[in-house]
Amino acid sequence: MATAAISFLWIGGTAQAAACAELGPDGYQTLKLGMTTQQAKATGEIVPYRGPDPGAGINPECGFYDLTDRPGRPGGLTVLVSPKLGVSYIEGYPGVRTPQGIGIGSTEEALRTAYPDWNPAEPGGQFVPVPENPNAFYEFNAGNGEVDHLGLRSVGQECIE
């Protein structure tokens, strides 16, 4: 079952709860790695991708989708569904965090503390095993000292290079 971290925002002098969506260890909200296209659509978590051709690096045999609750950039490509593996890639967005608290905007120091195997200097070093799911990897990229990309990939996924 997916969990959400709760933080409090001060708005107009009162505290209001704001949920932080979680990516992992097996998916996002009710969308899970391995779901078929039909199962994924039934969650209500995805809509068809309506952006430009994603170009090189994306397998055209895969289904292209976006998360329904992702703010900004409507029509973005954030979910890929493999004909063999089902949902095999889910991209996070600002506000989404791993169970270890890492998301876009986290410091590189926090990333290294939470995921000591992350080492972008090595080939494939931006991919780290997902704790509690041996069939998945997190993908982290960082620039200017902070995380600027977060994704969850199935082992053996064939949709994105």
Position 33 pLDDT exceeds 50: yes
Two tokens, residue 95: 């506000």
Burial class from Cβ neighbours inside 10 Å (0-12, 13-18, 19+) for residue 84 reads exposed
Position 17 pLDDT exceeds 50: no
Position 38 pLDDT exceeds 80: yes
> Which pLDDT score, from 0 to 100, does residue 88 have?
98
> Which pLDDT score, from 0 to 100, does residue 74 have?
54
Whole-number Å distance between alpha carbons of 45 and 155: 22
Phi, psi of 120 (to 5 degrees): -65, -10
Q: Are 22 and 2 in contact (CB under 8 A)?
A: yes
Helix (H, G, I), strand (E, B) or coil at 29: coil
- The model's pTM is 0.85
Q: Bigger pLDDT: 45 or 70? A: 45
> Which residues in 68-143 belong to E strands, given as ranges?
79-82, 86-91, 127-130, 133-143
